[in-house]
Amino acid sequence: MRLIAGHYVFTGREFIKNGVVEIDSAGKIAGLSSLGDTAIEREHTEFFNGIITPGFINAHCHSELSHMKGVIPQHSGMTDFCKSVISYRNIDVDKQLSAMYEADKLMENEGIVAVGDISNSDASVRMKKDSRLTYHTFVETLNLNPCLADENIAKAKAVKRSFEREGLRASITPHAPYSLSEKLFELSVAEANRSGIISIHNEESCDEMELFAKKQGKMRNFFGKEMDSFLPQYDNPLHRILKYIDAETSMLLIHNTHTSEQDIRDALSRNRKTTWTLCPASNLYIENRLPDVNLFATINARVAVGTDSLSSNTNLSILQELKILTSAFPETGLHNLLRWATLNGAEALNLDSELGSFDRGKRPGALLLSAIDFKNMKLTDNTKVKRLI
């Protein structure tokens, strides 16, 4: 049994001052308490300067794109970013695999214990099988030609099976409201509803908002007239998702850079398990714009945090994402940020029976966050993360 203590323990829900986490030899949480005054108690406790928190959950990543680090220019906007991803996607398989292994190690060193990972193929199966992290793979569908919808779904099911055969969690998900024919969109959301979970890019860019509001613009010009078969039905990207989603499907909406208060209310009235997944470093990289984080905090909507991929980020670090949110939205409490990075992500990915909080019997890992501004309870530029378990 290890007794690990810090100035504060963040349980996944709240802080305990001078908290102690009891962890057994298998890494399971045996209990939580406050540090007593007796010498004997202190003697058996490892005390760390900082905050002890459960392992971080990276709610959104694309490990398949790890070889694109530094390749795509910043602030190019969404349509040009999509063009670049398409042109750099195909690469030598060994190079892609070694970049994925490196990305996995990077995440492990950053205190990440689980990842919601978008995949278009089975290229990441081996890496995920070898990894110490828990992955939920979202097998992504994406095609605007309705004649290919049945073929696309059959292919996605085959990819999903190749993960499941190796004991890895996987489900099918549509890429975004703008990149699938109506038929493929409907089939893909039906598959997601069957698995009880969906992860879809939502309201990420000006181009996407313009496409749905005006049925024209850069994205319409790039993707072409196949979009015209569904665009008239929707005035906003989110409404396309809400048309098909079940109330009880865990719905991870990714980015939400242009999401309004009305959108949040619309989603919550249709779906009881909506998680607004923020990837601020990626938003700054592609569009140099951030979502209205105060809006989510004020309405008390469930938020989680992701890194997105190395094609639109310089690192795969949840701590780095939290630092960006801290400096852009200083009024956001640290207890909120840490909850978003731990328990909320675990709940959204249906991994909360094992991960995300220091509840007895879970194996969430334990991290030390050092160099905290305790006076204001804030992360600082110098805050570092270290795995204790």
Q: Based on CB atoms, which residue is closest to Zn ion, 16 or 278?
A: 278
Show the binding pattern over residues 261-300: x = contacts Zn ion (CB under 5 A), - = does not: ----------------------------------------
State the number of binding residues for Zn ion (CB under 5 A): 1
Q: Based on CB atoms, which residue is closest to Zn ion, 4 or 65?
A: 65
Phi, psi angle pair for 97, to nearest 5°: -65, -45
Shortest separation between residue 62's beta carbon and Zn ion, angstroms: 6
212 close to 204: Cβ distance less than 8 angstroms? no
Could you say which residues in the range 91-110 bind Zn ion, by CB under 5 A? none
Shortest separation between residue 106's beta carbon and Zn ion, angstroms: 17
Q: Based on CB atoms, which residue is closest to Zn ion, 16 or 286?
A: 286
Would you call 156 exposed, middle or buried from its count of C-beta atoms within 10 A (0-12, 13-18, 19+)?
A: buried
Shortest separation between residue 60's beta carbon and Zn ion, angstroms: 6
2 close to 27: Cβ distance less than 8 angstroms? no
Shortest separation between residue 192's beta carbon and Zn ion, angstroms: 16
Site of tokens 């694309």 = 62
267 close to 251: Cβ distance less than 8 angstroms? yes
Report the alpha-carbon distance of residue 238 to residue 305 in Å, rounded. 19
Q: Which residue is nearest to Zn ion (CB)?
A: 308
Shortest separation between residue 282's beta carbon and Zn ion, angstroms: 7
Q: Based on CB atoms, which residue is closest to Zn ion, 20 or 316?
A: 316
Q: Based on CB atoms, which residue is closest to Zn ion, 7 or 201?
A: 201
Shortest separation between residue 205's beta carbon and Zn ion, angstroms: 12
Taking the CA atoms of the chain, what radius of gyration do you get in angstroms? 21
Strands of the chain (E only): list them: 2-10, 15-17, 19-23, 29-34, 46-54, 56-61, 112-119, 134-141, 169-174, 197-202, 250-255, 274-278, 303-305, 366-373, 378-387
CA 343, 363, 116, 9: dihedral to nearest 10 degrees?
A: 40
Show the binding pattern over residues 304-333: x = contacts Zn ion (CB under 5 A), - = does not: ----x-------------------------
Q: Based on CB atoms, which residue is closest to Zn ion, 64 or 308?
A: 308
Shortest separation between residue 178's beta carbon and Zn ion, angstroms: 13
Q: Based on CB atoms, which residue is closest to Zn ion, 23 or 281?
A: 281
Report the alpha-carbon distance of residue 116 to residue 23 in Å, rounded. 26
Site of interaction with Zn ion (CB under 5 A): 308
